[in-house]
């Protein structure tokens, strides 16, 4: 039996819906389960930061088996986080992938208390938090070796202010708008000045009510 081409192998994981980024209900739960898996999140970020890669290159980069990488990429493809990059292949058997940026937003309380759906949504939020903690821990461990201009450009800030619910919601909206606008400016600048040195910059912000934290 002739070996299937990369394009033929990708057909089975092609997203079934055009509503990527607007999922609700059980479809949203499937997205959360697919994305909030440490290995799949890692593969997503490798493609986003280091650029398109073949399955073999990702396997070498991560130490994972080729079959495992293919399986995870297939899952990420089905839910719109990555996409095939056949234009980079030297022949039809070579399987290249690239990052496909998309938004995921959810609120665990949208699902009934005590339900499996609620547990899935809550677990995704907890894993998302753990992912950010791992990123911060890595920066704390390696940051002192970074160039001075990089250390000075980074920031850690927090505040504890009494505010109304409406004011808290306004802060959330303004932060979100700022981050989206800044990201668009960075992407536009990268197209105009592709040769300028750039760093993968992570931003994690949370706005939530909090009483005094006991050590």
Out of 8-12, 74-78, 110-114, which region has the weakest mean confidence (pLDDT)? 8-12
Angle, in degrees to the nearest 10, between helices 66-78 and 55-62: 120
The pLDDT, as a whole number, for residue 1 is 47
Rounded Cα distance between 192 and 186, Å, is 10
In three-state secondary structure terms, 98 is strand
Section 26-47 average pLDDT: 95
CA-based nearest residue to 123, from 131, 53, 200:
131
Section 53-80 average pLDDT: 95
What is the residue-averaged pLDDT of the chain? 91
> What are residue 96's phi and psi, to 5 degrees?
-105, 145
Section 111-136 average pLDDT: 95
Per-residue b/e over 164-200, b at no fewer than 16 CB within 10 Å?
eeeeeeeeeeeeeeeeeeeeeeeeeeeeeeeeeeeee
Q: How confident is the model at residue 12 (pLDDT cuts 50, 70, 90)?
A: low
pTM of the model: 0.86
Please check whether residue 59 is in contact with residue 66, taking contact to mean a CB–CB distance below 8 angstroms.
yes
Number of neighbours of residue 120 by Cβ within 10 angstroms: 19
**140-198 tens-digit pLDDT:** 999 999 999 999 999 999 999 999 999 999 999 999 999 999 999 999 999 999 999 99
DSSP, residue by residue, 135-160: HHHHHHHHGGGS-HHHHHH-------
Instruction: Map tokens 């040769």 to a residue.
Output: 195
Structure tokens at 196: 């300028």
Q: Sheet with 82-84: list strands edge to edge.
A: 53-54, 96-99, 82-84
């Amino acid at each position: 039996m002739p070996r299937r081409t990369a394009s033929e192998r990708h057909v089975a994981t092609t997203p079934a819906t055009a509503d990527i980024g607007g999922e609700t209900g059980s479809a949203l739960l499937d997205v959360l389960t697919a994305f909030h898996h440490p290995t799949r999140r890692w593969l997503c970020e490798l493609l986003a930061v280091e650029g398109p890669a073949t399955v073999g290159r990702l396997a070498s980069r991560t130490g994972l088996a080729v079959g495992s990488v293919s399986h995870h990429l297939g899952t990420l493809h089905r839910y719109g986080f990555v996409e095939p990059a056949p234009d980079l292949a030297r022949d039809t058997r070579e399987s290249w992938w690239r990052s496909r940026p998309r938004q995921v937003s959810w609120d665990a309380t949208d699902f009934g208390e005590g339900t499996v759906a609620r547990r899935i949504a809550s677990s995704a939020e907890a894993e998302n938090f753990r992912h950010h903690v791992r990123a911060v821990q890595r920066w704390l461990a390696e940051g002192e070796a970074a160039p001075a201009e990089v250390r000075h450009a980074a920031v850690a800030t927090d505040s504890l202010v009494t505010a109304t619910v409406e004011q808290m919601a306004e802060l959330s909206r303004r932060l979100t708008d700022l981050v989206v606008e800044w990201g668009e400016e960075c992407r536009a600048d990268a197209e105009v000045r592709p040769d300028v040195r750039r760093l993968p910059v992570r931003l994690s912000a949370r706005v939530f009510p909090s009483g005094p934290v006991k050590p």
